[in-house]
Amino acid sequence: MTARSDSETASHFGDRVASAVADKQSQLVVGLDPRIELLPVELRGDAHLGPATAALAYERFCCSVVDLVAPHVVAVKPQLAFFEALGSAGLHALEQVVDYARSAELLVIIDGKRGDIGSTARAYASAYLEERGPLPPLGDALTVNPYLGGDAVEPFVAACRRAGTGIFCLVKTSNRGSTDLQDLALSDGRPLWQHVGELVDHWGETVVGEQGLSSVGAVIGATHPHAIADARRVLPRSILLMPGIGAQGAEPGDLRSAFTSGPASVLVPVARSIIYAYRDETDDDWRSAIGQAAARLRASVWKASGW
């Protein structure tokens, strides 16, 4: 792993996002969701033999994706579950992929949806958001489940304050079943997710950077276009991580009202429609398909942002 300088470590997550978005004119984040059965045949090798060989295949594939998308995206978002499923070999592969993404000057958002209380929350925050001796934090940011309440989130915010990292709290998620809980009406008629959004805004008050963006962001599904304007109103200084473009059916144009807090106030993670784009193509050039899909989506999202 490459050590990060003191000045780089201490810099504010929101400011780093703003700088990356301005430099690349992109809000695109590529999700790294490796699955053996979907990898190009040439990269699978002996992956079927066990976790160690599967982890090597994941590493090869994800590093290749980084090379292909780096000109078009500001960050990668490794999904922890796919790496954890392979045990220690998978976690080693994750560390290698994170290091490779950093060498390509990409931000790293760890998608782990962690949430707990007390010492357990502090351990999660330390594992993913704080320096590990001479090594930088594993992630520049981590997805967090806030539905356990403020005492579960505070250890993560404290880590952000110390290390210059960020979190994205699940507020209104992109899955269809989110309505089962997140849309429940409170006594004043508001849906539960809006109350959670207000809490997220409050938790982020003390970690606002020079560009006006908080290190405490929110996950808002692009698959709920009716909720986007309300989410931005409730969360005026949070970076919104907005999944759902592509395979889940949302379009970049659905996001326009989210960008009113600036071009860097929204990040758009896309996984399947980019990293497995070649599976929908007639030729076998998986590298070309991935690069072209990333370029197209970068341009579409930037145009939708209006900046």
Residues annotated catalytic, as ranges: 113
> Which tokens is 18 given?
């703003």
Cross-strand bridge partners of residue 28: 268
Secondary structure of residue 80 in the 3-state scheme? helix
> Which tokens is 72 given?
């078009």
- DSSP class of 165: -
* Other C-beta atoms lying within 10 Å of the C-beta of residue 98: 24
- The residues, any chain, with a CB within 8 Å of residue 132's CB and separated by 6 or more, are 138
The CA–CA distances, whole Å, from 145 to 9, 114, 156, 241, 285 equal: 24, 6, 11, 14, 38
* DSSP track, 285-296: -HHHHHHHHHHH
Containing H/E element for 167?
Answer: strand 166-172
Containing H/E element for 51?
Answer: helix 51-69
Question: In 3D, which of 270, 272, 274 has the Cα closest to residue 287?
Answer: 274
